[in-house]
Structure 1
Amino acid sequence: MGTLVVAQSGGPTAVMNASLVGAIAGARGDRRVDRILGARFGIEGILADDYVDLTELPTEALVALKETPGAGLGSSRYRASDTEIHRIVSALVARDASWLLTIGGNDTADTLHRIQLAAQDAGLPLSVVGIPKTIDNDLPGMDHCPGYGSAARYVAVAVREAGIDTCAMQRTDPVKIVEVMGRNAGWLAAAARLGRHEPDQAPQLVFFPERPRSVEQMVDEIAGAYRAHGWAVVVVSENQTDEAGRPLAGDQPVHIDPHGHRYNESPGAHLARLVQSTFGVRARYERPGSLQRTSTTIVSETDAIEARLAGVDAVKRALRGESDVMVAIQREPGLAYSVRYEATPLSEIAARERHLPDEFIASSGTDVTDAFLAYVRPLIGGSLPPILSLV
């Protein structure tokens, strides 16, 4: 008998709470768990002994929580010091915690791995299991991450609709730059391509972090797309760099988070200004921001189901003594889409990134391959509805 502690960490997603509900449901079904505690605001809640008792949360509350975007317990990007890691272990022992589950990504894996090592050094029987979460889809050791499918669907719809608007307004606003999240990987930018079914539809260009190019080349490519179609929608990743690895809008970050991630000036806004000043047409700039990671208006049902099952699987692994691992969704071979749940060591995920592979990027460097489209379509929970333009 013991207490299971669950926490959420990093940027929220549209299905992060589905994983939380899955963990609660899995723990409730095992008599070894006599209490389920949710730490408010990630490891900060553990350090402050600030918990929500989830043991008897009513069914109707669980249903509502599963449909709620964001992080129901509150999230955090706090990086604990080595001293605080040992305090976390002591705090968990004080709460009679035998199992710690945290929903998060690369940095969460790093923190959990450090907690595991500290517990191991102290001779404490604590099982530490991560539940994957990131819209960036950049966690090593798995086919894809919960949160990505919904964000990919959102970006595909948003960029397609930006294209409809730009096509209609091409006489006055012929160029639009859409900047999407993804940190240093192009998975989310690539998903924008799902909205283009015909050559003259948006996006005409997608710029990937994996294919850095000079600003001059990017502007020339945008000009070429504009001349070819009379309008152009361009997708760029939030941390796009030039051929020398420099952020497009300058080297000076506007923010550096506790894990050392740099947040730079907007490359999308910078490109829009350059396009407008270089060839004299109005270029607009759109940035969906946090909406792309937490909106449930067009959530992928596949993503929601897999996120919940990842939470259930994490509990099973923790209760049978597995530790220092993160649940990993793996795709089964074959034409029909199906997945299995495995585990990847936290040390193989901690502070690492998985980039968009070469076979998913077209030779032009500004489009995706059919292999990427085949990979991503099952993740977004069904095809996009048809559209029609009379222009």
Structure 2
Amino acid sequence: MIPYGRQSLDQADIDAVMAVLQSDWLTQGPAIERFEQAMARRCQAGHAVAVCNATAALHIACLAAGLGPGDRLWTTPNTFLASANCGRYCGAQVDFVDIDPLTWNLDAVALAAKLEKAERNGTLPKVLVAVAFSGQSCDMREIARLSERYGFTVIEDASHAVGASYAGRPVGCGEFADMTVFSFHPVKIITSAEGGMVLTNRPELAQHLQRLRSHGMTRDAEQMSEPSHGPWYYQQVELGFNYRITDLQAALGLSQLNKLEGFIARRRELASRYNRLLNGLPLTLPGLQPEAESAWHLYVVRLRLDEISLDHRQVFEGLRAAGIGVNLHYIPVHLQPYYCDLGFAQGDYPQAERYYAEAISLPMFPSLSDEEQEYVVGQLQRLLEE
């Protein structure tokens, strides 16, 4: 089976993890800070805070933004559940903005219209989670402009976009978002097995994120309510969590980061080949945001169902039967039973729903060979021509 995504590990990665296993620090040690500093440098960001996964990163980013009961978080319905759930973890209401029919990202035009209405109704969001779906950023310049106009915090969920760029700068630099979240799950651009990170240019946010990932504790005398009792002393100054990443994970992540440029180059080569090989088939290929350079975590096509005889499920299952592990990213979040119980329903976000009825994620990972890719295209063409 050719999977839709797969980690790319080599001996250098194994050696990096082995070095930690043979060291004095398995967790809360120096490998974590080295990983954070390297990622901050790569993204031209002021601060990076590594955590156990990207869901945890989204959660503490929302808390650092002051999100709580009575507040509102908006995001896209075309995303993984965590982009919305992080708001619910904080006790906030969650709402959605429909997607751009070209890029399948959150639609900045729809966002502007919804914000204008929300201002009149007194229902403006406190946080917007702008998801860089498939590896390319939303229209972050316009989103940043709207955040200044309406006063909300922008968290870019760039779980798909490590190594991507926007407006000529690395995603994560903080020019258009208050905080940026990365994921290091095995199918993502680089992996730490499990892991996530929040990047920000605001030192007070970084300090808050560091406390939140480790039980709300501090050893910094300036953050304490009284003088230190001695070298052993710490204080819990707020309610936090055990969201710490281990040194084993951080060492793997840092080793993977050293190969990021090669991973991105191959993903872009594969995307270009898909564009060429699939041209002329009854498919809608990915649209590009003008200022974005995608990291191509996913390569998604949409079936032109009115031009083929098979339905969506038949094409999907036909590819699976041919040994191709296609996937579907994503089921619209507002159609999940949990969110339907909160009042959302079919028809609320028609662009996202139409996308879901047509989308298939094709295999995309650096070790995918040209021959495997050509097989994927050939099998898809066969099904579309039946």
Do these two structures clear the TM 0.5 threshold for a shared fold by scoring above it?
no
Q: TM (normalized to structure 1)?
A: 0.30
